[in-house]
Structure 1
């Protein structure tokens, strides 16, 4: 995106910062999707399920606060890059997909399997849920990697 009239470019375009800022938005967005869909609408789990329902609900509130901070910070960083004429939209798209998939993959492997703070669902065979969750994450990460490689090739 081009700088708007009155904006003063302060340096070169910044593909890495564009990607990192959008990745923060992606992490926040996927955390919000997870919380809204799986924690609230479906009520399948809380962020932390190894204690009382009250603690689980409190942990969801902490996750919600963190996702809002990530979304706001990421959008502010993107706006600042745009204002200074340094935003690289294609790199930002790559970062967005890497953030979306990165959060989901971290949640699926670290939260679900290593730390066991919660599972996707309870009382069912987890295998199809785990496979779908982690394959979805890998697909998002793969899209981000392909987009990032295209940005890198275009820079050469």
Structure 2
């Protein structure tokens, strides 16, 4: 018995899947930003330049970075849903190149939106906040990560009709990359680095140190409040601290991915 294809034959009214690719590309641009700049290089936090004592606190910065990743997850989920809803267009002429072009355009759009809106209009952070001339770093980042995908997208779209019928492989690959980006963003750094633990506000240093002692761990660093600690775990899992007043334990999913990468 013949099996049905995942993609219905395209018709004149079949919507293009490229729109979903735009959204996925936009989300992937955000993931690269968060993973590379917030976590690996640590050139800025999402709210690095926002004034106010409350937002200067490290817990607010880490939570904002985590919320940013959650937002990217949500946008990626919308893009995946749009691709699935428009899977009937996967077999159209040049569909694979149009999907790839959409992803490239979306990636470039994130770089432009981040730079213009967040860096220049709102001023909540820059590519690097610790340099004498942050504008040069902003422009350099756009040139390196925004212009090449834009040019690639223009070339793919201009040559889409030469690509022949699509087979959905580009959409599948793009979906796989988006699905992998979320767990990669939550991975802790390798090696035997101390585990950062963020406790609830008000627990104070005595409560936080007592919680660490309760799981036979050792404190190697503490911020002035005593509520953000770097610990070396003992035989017990550091995640037990969740039951002792900890809000986040470095290495746990989503928002704690940013915590795990933060330097002491």
For residue 6 of structure 1, the aligned residue among 4, 9, 18 is: 4
For residue 101 of structure 1, the aligned residue among 97, 108, 111 is: 108
Measured in 2, the distance between the counterparts of 1:27 and 1:14 equals 26
Q: Which has the larger radius of gyration?
A: 2
CA separation of 1:138 and 1:16: change in aligned 2, threshold 3 A = farther
Please list every run of 5 or more consecutive structure 2 residues that lacks an aligned counterpart in the other structure. Answer: 164-264
Secondary structure of the residue aligned to 1:6 is coil
* Alignment match, 1:143: 152
Measured in 2, the distance between the counterparts of 1:115 and 1:19 equals 30
Q: How much does 1:64 deviate?
A: 0.6
The answer to which structure has the higher helix fraction is 1
Secondary structure of the residue aligned to 2:110 is helix
Equivalent residues of 1:111, 1:117 under 8 A apart = yes
The answer to which structure has the higher strand fraction is 2
* Alignment match, 1:40: 39
Q: How much does 1:132 deviate?
A: 1.6
Equivalent residues of 1:47, 1:117 under 8 A apart = yes
* Alignment match, 1:72: 77
* Alignment match, 1:129: 137
Please list every run of 5 or more consecutive structure 1 residues that lacks an aligned counterpart in the other structure. Answer: none
Secondary structure of the residue aligned to 1:117 is coil
- How does the TM-score come out when normalised to structure 2? 0.50
- How does the TM-score come out when normalised to structure 1? 0.81
CA separation of 1:59 and 1:15: change in aligned 2, threshold 3 A = farther
Equivalent residues of 2:14, 2:86 under 8 A apart = no
CA separation of 1:18 and 1:97: change in aligned 2, threshold 3 A = same
Equivalent residues of 2:46, 2:64 under 8 A apart = yes
**Residues 93-102 or 48-57, more deviating:** 48-57
Secondary structure of the residue aligned to 1:109 is helix
Runs of 4+ residues over 6 Å off in structure 1? 13-16
Measured in 2, the distance between the counterparts of 1:55 and 1:14 equals 48
Q: For residues 30-52 of structure 1, what are the alpha-carbon distances to aligned partners after superposition, in whole Å with 9 as ceiling and x for unaligned?
A: 11111011111122111122132
